[in-house]
């Protein structure tokens, strides 16, 4: 009889947990619906912007499939909706996640201002080559109706291999693709992302590199 009582108790506890997670999941869905409605976003375009099929967010928000928005798409959606990603995480999932699973990254343009920061999941940096999280900052570049959030490793301040780097010209940060010049092995070919700066060739010793890019996510404002 005692065994049966214990089994019943376990069943009740499991049901309570399921009910709680369902409520938390629904709360997040309702929050996302309100944000989308307030900002007049189109569900189909939002689904495309997080690289899913047209009906993905419609099914998630109104049919409950998937039950929990995967972390990768949660971060992308938070970027697009311009909200803190923590607002889109169910409470039960926050409880399961230890504080060590998230980095707090500061804006490279405001290094002294600790209030200018974002939380960033370790999972999104898994497999990337960096030594110390203290060297990681984030940088945002804006153009037209688009902005790009970039994670930068500031411990790398010289050209290593063809890649995307963050440069600094008189305290104006900008992203650029850098490779060895075809004209001279002592020079680098620099191609800035945007038209604000023109492509140029420069001696490798004279180029001021602020960091190497580890991760990028673009935000496009589609209605």
pTM for this entry = 0.55
Q: List pLDDT tens digits, range 52-81.
A: 999 999 999 999 888 888 888 888 888 888
C-alpha span between 95 and 166 (Å, rounded): 36
Which domains does the chain carry? Answer: 2-97 (1.10.260.40), 101-220 (2.10.109.10)
The number of helix segments (H) and strand segments (E) in the chain equals 5, 9
Over residues 143-150, the mean pLDDT reads 77
Residue 106 has a pLDDT of 85
Q: Read off the pLDDT band of 116 (50, 70, 90).
A: low
Q: Which residue has the higher pLDDT, 1 or 19?
A: 19
Collapse the DSSP code of 180 into the 3-class scheme (helix H, G, I; strand E, B; otherwise coil) and give the result: strand
Residue 18 has a pLDDT of 60
Q: Read off the pLDDT band of 155 (50, 70, 90).
A: very high
Collapse the DSSP code of 64 into the 3-class scheme (helix H, G, I; strand E, B; otherwise coil) and give the result: coil
- β-partners of residue 179 are 189
Q: Read off the pLDDT band of 15 (50, 70, 90).
A: low
Residue 193 has a pLDDT of 83
Both tokens assigned to 54: 């047209």
**How would you class 109 by CB atoms within 10 Å of its CB: exposed for 0-12, middle for 13-18, buried for 19 or more?**
middle
C-alpha span between 40 and 53 (Å, rounded): 20
Over residues 179-205, the mean pLDDT reads 88
């Amino acid at each position: 009889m005692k065994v049966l009582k214990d089994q019943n108790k376990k069943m009740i506890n499991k049901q309570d947990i399921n009910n709680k997670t369902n409520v938390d999941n629904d709360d997040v869905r309702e929050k996302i619906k309100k944000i989308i409605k307030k900002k007049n976003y189109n569900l189909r375009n939002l689904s495309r912007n997080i690289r899913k099929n047209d009906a993905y967010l419609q099914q998630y928000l109104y049919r409950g499939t998937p039950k929990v928005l995967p972390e990768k798409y949660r971060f992308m959606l938070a970027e697009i909706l311009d909200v803190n990603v923590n607002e889109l995480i169910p409470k039960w999932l926050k409880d399961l996640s230890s504080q060590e699973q998230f980095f707090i990254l500061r804006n490279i343009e405001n290094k002294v201002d600790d209030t200018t920061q974002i939380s960033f999941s370790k999972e999104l940096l898994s497999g990337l080559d960096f030594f110390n999280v203290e060297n990681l900052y984030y940088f945002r570049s804006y153009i037209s109706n688009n902005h790009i959030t970039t994670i930068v490793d500031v411990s790398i301040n010289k050209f290593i291999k063809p890649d995307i780097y963050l440069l600094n010209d008189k305290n104006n940060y900008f992203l650029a693709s850098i490779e060895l010049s075809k004209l001279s092995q002592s020079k680098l070919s620099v191609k800035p992302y945007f038209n604000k700066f023109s492509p140029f060739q420069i001696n490798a010793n004279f180029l001021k590199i602020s960091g190497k890019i580890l991760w990028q996510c673009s935000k496009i404002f589609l209605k």
